[in-house]
Amino acid sequence: MTEHSQVIEEYLLLLYKMDHAGEKAKAVTLANRLETSPPTVHATIVRMQRDGLITVKKSKELFLTKEGRKVAEDIAYRHNLSEYFLCNTLGIPWYEVHQHAHRLEHAMTPVVVKKLAEFLKNPKFCPHGTPMPGSSLPKDTITLTETTAGMTVEIKMIGEVLEDSVDLMKILHEHRIMPGNLHKITEISEVMRSISLESKDGPLTLPFHVADFTSKIIRKTM
């Protein structure tokens, strides 16, 4: 596979994540999410088009080509594998591994990826519940905003868009909003635009915009 710069890889990974989350990708979206100037984003998009990694529709929406998706899946796998290693082997806090994995993923050669995957026994999910490329969440998975009061749910995945905020991830960690943990939905307030949960670790209220961005994170258990 052709090697690409770290910048290109970061763009491809973001486009891959947005596609999986059902979000539309445009240059302005990338500029905001990557905190990069519009001219820089435009120049990078032109380069990615030239390399056959993306296509740009008349609506200005960006799409991965077959080659672009192949490269993006490789990056996503390296990232998720890095998170798993950092969290479960090196003991780096769950809420911090995303930041460290962003640096490690670019330095891993195919040989290292293969050996690391074998060492970790080929995990299917990252520590936050994101499926490795080729794997998927259970079919009955729903989002937190699709629940009703009184329902008990099992956390399955924390949406990747939230992982960029260490402070937010730390709050979720402290309240055990993590894969495998059970929580009861105690209240859904349209007025306050929030969802209240309770578990053995205590109560927590999440705003809708957090619950909404944690796409497909929970599964009904009762």
Q: Percent of the chain at pLDDT above 90? A: 70
- Residue 98 C-alpha from the chain's centroid: 9
The candidate with the shortest Cα–Cα distance to 161, out of 98, 73, 81, is 98
Domain with CATH 2.30.30.90 in the chain: 141-220
Residue 84's pLDDT band, with cuts at 50, 70 and 90, is: very high
pTM: 0.87
Residue 215 has pLDDT above 80, yes or no: no
Say how many C-beta atoms besides its own lie within 10 A of residue 124's C-beta.
Answer: 11
Residue appearing with tokens 């003991």: 91
From the candidate CATH numbers 1.50.10.10, 1.10.10.10, 3.40.640.10, 3.40.50.10860, the one assigned to the domain spanning 6-68: 1.10.10.10
Q: Give pLDDT tens digits for 96-144.
A: 999 999 999 999 999 999 999 999 999 999 999 999 998 988 888 888 8
- The C-alpha atoms of residue 200 and residue 48 are separated, in whole angstroms, by 49
The one-character DSSP state at 178 is S
Domain with CATH 1.10.10.10 in the chain: 6-68
141-220 placed in CATH 3.40.50.720:
no
